Amino acid sequence: MPESSLDKDICSSSECRTPPLRQFSQSSLPLHRKSYMLSTFCTEQNVQECQSHINQEVSSLGLQPVWTESGSSSEMNVVAVLNCMYDLIQMHRRGLRSLENMEVEQLKSSGNVDYLQLTSTRLKEQLELSKRENTGLLERERQLQLKVKSLQNCLKNEKEEVQKLQNIIASRASQYNHEMKRKEREFNKLKERLNQLLIDKKEKKQAIDVLNNIGRADGKRSLWKTEKTEAKHEAEMYKALLSDYDTRQRELLLENAELNKVLQQMKKDMVSILSSKKPILKGDKYQDDGAQADSEDEEEVFDSSKESVELYCVHAREKLTNSIRLQWRRLKSHVERLDSQASLAQMGGSRNNDAVSQETHKEEMDRLKLEIQQCKDFIQTQQQLLQQQLSSPCDEETASLLSDCYMLQEKERLGDEWKTLEEQRTIFERERRNFTEAAIRLSHERKAFEEDRATWLKHQFLNLSPFPDSKKPPMSKSKSAFLISETKASATSAPEKLIRCPSGTNLPTPGCVPHTSSTADLYRTLCLIPENGATKPKRKSDHAEESGVFFNGKAPVRHKQWNDSEEHSSHTKEQNSSI
């Protein structure tokens, strides 16, 4: 698709491009031709004609004629010709520019056309699709309708079935009831017969055999059945019923009284709320309903409250309920109005309201501040009281508890401190490591320096000696041997090397000293540090002074201290390992 469109674009653009070109060529063709045939266009013979022709052409283009023919002489007005030419060139340029613009526009429009064509095809496709969908949906709807119809038929059938079944059930039930009744009658007949038979038989077997009669539970003698007893029973029954109703009524009265109380309370509250609200909303209220109604209402309320003494009177109750209802309605409308007002205020947000609200806000704020202050005071007094309580050992348990609390706090604080200490320790460790590394580096450098010095001294010495060349080989040999031993030693323990290297190199090595003695000396210095302890620090300080060349100010002193500390640490390490 895009390729084809591109092709189209190209061809269309080429198509578009051709017409202006053609126009141009058409318009320019005569000129061209004329320019080509300039040789033939203007000859000596037809100068006049050419002039007139060009003049015509120029005038037709709306330019100043090149020359005036006033003068018989065919002298060309050069200025006019130049002007004319300039104008022509300008026109030409303008023409070209407009051509370009038009081409661009053409391109644009062709692009637009393509896009529109594309969209139209797409829309057509969509239309097709939706049409297809539509038909599908229609088909489905038809099917569903068919289904609905069938289901409706089914439902109807089912309903009929249900009706039929119900009828069957009803008929069966009636049949069953009938049968039951028949059976029961038969049963009763049988029972009667049995009863009759039993009575007829005068059965002796049915009897009671009691050793001696026992008295009644209440100790009274049984009474003859008379009308009096019957009346007594009735009376007792009604008495029982009455007492039951009595108790129930009493309960209800109690409940009623309570509810009445609640109602009264509610009414009072409502009245108070409404009366407090009235002065504010009087204007509204008068607008809503007349002043008369208002006063009437108030009177009614007053009346009912007066009459509340006679609580159980029907009249009073009606009045009470009515007044309550009225008040309730009023309260409801009032609340609704308030609601609507609130919503209005929210929507409109009038400035007056805002000012009022700000004022109230201020008041509220002041009030709250006061409250906060009070609360603070309260808390302070509480704290004081608490402290007093704490100071006075009021309760062992609480005291122990409190002490526990304090201990816990203390523990926590200690733990925190411990943690910070640990952190500091780790930091120190790191720093120390850094410094030891620095010291190692330093010692290396010093060693190099020392070697340099030694060689220099040696050279000096050898130069001074009578055999400057003969002693050289052993010297170098000894040095190399010494180096080997040193590396061996270094392999054993790194920290010791620190001390050893400078000491080794620092030995006053005159060339005559054999290398064995030098190593022995070295070992002595190594192993018998405590023996040479007095000398060592001095030497060290020397080194420090020497190395002070590299450092400035206090650095050398510090360096020495570190060395000491390191030595110490190494000692402790050894001890640790031995332990």
Partner 1 sequence: MNFSEVFKQSNQLCKVSPDGKYLATCVQYRLVVRDMSTLQILQLYTCLDQISHMDWSSDSLFILCAMYKRGLVQVWSLEQPDWHCKIDEGSIGLLSSRWSPDGRHILNTTEFHLRITVWSLCTKAVSYIKYPKACQKGIDFSRDGCYMALAERRDCKDYVSVFVCDDWHLLRHFETETQDLGGLEWSPNGCVLAVWDSCLEYKVLLYSLDGRLLSTYSAYEWSLGVKTVTWSPSSQFLAIGSYDEKVRVLNHITWKKITQFEHPATINNTKAVVYKEVERRPAVGADDLSLHNITIGTTLFNTQSKYEICPPPVQIPVVKPDPDRANPKIGVSTLAFSSDSRYLATKNDNMASVVWVWDMQNMSLEAVLEQCSAVRCFQWDPRRPRLALCTGNSKLYLWSPAGCVSVEVPTEGGFQVQSLNWHCSGDSLILLVSKYHLLGTKCVQKHYFKTL
Smallest distance from the beta carbon of 260 to partner 1, in angstroms? Answer: 18
* Alpha-carbon distance values, 488 to 97, 496, 514, 525, 526 (Å): 93, 12, 20, 16, 13
Q: Which is nearer to partner 1, 230 or 284 (CB)?
A: 230
User: Minimal CA–CA distance to 158: which of 150, 78, 70?
Assistant: 150
CA distance 150 to 162: 18
Tokens 């269309």 locate to 12
Stretch that binds partner 1, among 148-156, 194-202, 271-279, 379-387 (CB under 8 A): 194-202
Selected from 92, 142, 147, 191, the binder of partner 1 by CB under 8 A is 191
Residues in 231-250 that interact with partner 1 by CB under 8 A: 233-234, 236-238, 240-241, 244, 248
Selected from 96, 144, 198, 235, the binder of partner 1 by CB under 8 A is 198
Q: Does 211 bind partner 1 (CB under 8 A)?
A: yes
Q: Does 185 bind partner 1 (CB under 8 A)?
A: yes
Residue 345: CB atoms within 10 A of its CB come to: 15
CA max distance for the chain? 188
Smallest distance from the beta carbon of 159 to partner 1, in angstroms? Answer: 17
Smallest distance from the beta carbon of 170 to partner 1, in angstroms? Answer: 11
| Backbone Cα Rg of the chain | 65
Q: Does 219 bind partner 1 (CB under 8 A)?
A: no
Selected from 52, 130, 153, 195, the binder of partner 1 by CB under 8 A is 195
Q: Which is nearer to partner 1, 182 or 325 (CB)?
A: 182
User: Cβ(251)–Cβ(312) under 8 Å?
Assistant: no
CA distance 543 to 445: 12
Smallest distance from the beta carbon of 171 to partner 1, in angstroms? Answer: 15
Smallest distance from the beta carbon of 131 to partner 1, in angstroms? Answer: 51
Smallest distance from the beta carbon of 198 to partner 1, in angstroms? Answer: 6
User: Minimal CA–CA distance to 81: which of 72, 68, 94?
Assistant: 68
154's tokens: 């089914």
- 512: buried, middle or exposed (CB in 10 Å: 19+, 13-18, 0-12)? exposed
User: Cβ(502)–Cβ(450) under 8 Å?
Assistant: yes
* Alpha-carbon distance values, 229 to 215, 221, 226 (Å): 20, 14, 5
Q: Does 161 bind partner 1 (CB under 8 A)?
A: no
Smallest distance from the beta carbon of 380 to partner 1, in angstroms? Answer: 44
Contacts for 304-309 with beta carbons within 8 Å, 24 or more apart?
A: 304/267, 305/267, 305/268, 305/271, 308/264
HSE-up of 208 (CA within 13 Å, CB side)? 4
Selected from 3, 209, 227, 397, the binder of partner 1 by CB under 8 A is 209
Determine which helix (DSSP H) or strand (DSSP E) holds 148, and give its type and residue range.
Answer: helix 78-201
Q: Does 212 bind partner 1 (CB under 8 A)?
A: yes
Q: Which is nearer to partner 1, 238 or 550 (CB)?
A: 238
Stretch that binds partner 1, among 21-29, 187-195, 426-434, 524-532 (CB under 8 A): 187-195
Selected from 216, 351, 488, 554, the binder of partner 1 by CB under 8 A is 216
Smallest distance from the beta carbon of 259 to partner 1, in angstroms? Answer: 14
Stretch that binds partner 1, among 202-210, 422-430, 541-549, 555-563 (CB under 8 A): 202-210
Q: Does 156 bind partner 1 (CB under 8 A)?
A: no
Q: Which is nearer to partner 1, 96 or 254 (CB)?
A: 254
User: Minimal CA–CA distance to 329: which of 259, 287, 265, 267?
Assistant: 267
Q: Does 223 bind partner 1 (CB under 8 A)?
A: yes
Residue 331: CB atoms within 10 A of its CB come to: 17
Q: Which is nearer to partner 1, 210 or 579 (CB)?
A: 210
Q: Which is nearer to partner 1, 251 or 542 (CB)?
A: 251
- The contacts of residue 307 (CB under 8 Å, 6+ apart) are 313, 315, 316, 319, 320
Rounding to the nearest 10 degrees, give the CA dihedral for residues 237, 243, 248, 252.
140
Number of amino acids touching partner 1 (CB under 8 A): 39
Residue 71: CB atoms within 10 A of its CB come to: 9
Q: Does 32 bind partner 1 (CB under 8 A)?
A: no
Residues in 242-301 that interact with partner 1 by CB under 8 A: 244, 248, 252
HSE-up of 41 (CA within 13 Å, CB side)? 14
- 153: buried, middle or exposed (CB in 10 Å: 19+, 13-18, 0-12)? exposed
Stretch that binds partner 1, among 13-21, 190-198, 295-303, 446-454 (CB under 8 A): 190-198
Selected from 22, 172, 181, 228, the binder of partner 1 by CB under 8 A is 181
Q: Does 213 bind partner 1 (CB under 8 A)?
A: yes
Selected from 7, 133, 141, 230, the binder of partner 1 by CB under 8 A is 230
Selected from 3, 75, 218, 396, the binder of partner 1 by CB under 8 A is 218
Selected from 4, 14, 26, 222, the binder of partner 1 by CB under 8 A is 222
Q: Which residue ranges make up the site for partner 1 (CB under 8 A)?
A: 180-181, 184-185, 188, 191, 194-195, 198, 203, 205-218, 222-223, 225, 229-230, 233-234, 236-238, 240-241, 244, 248, 252
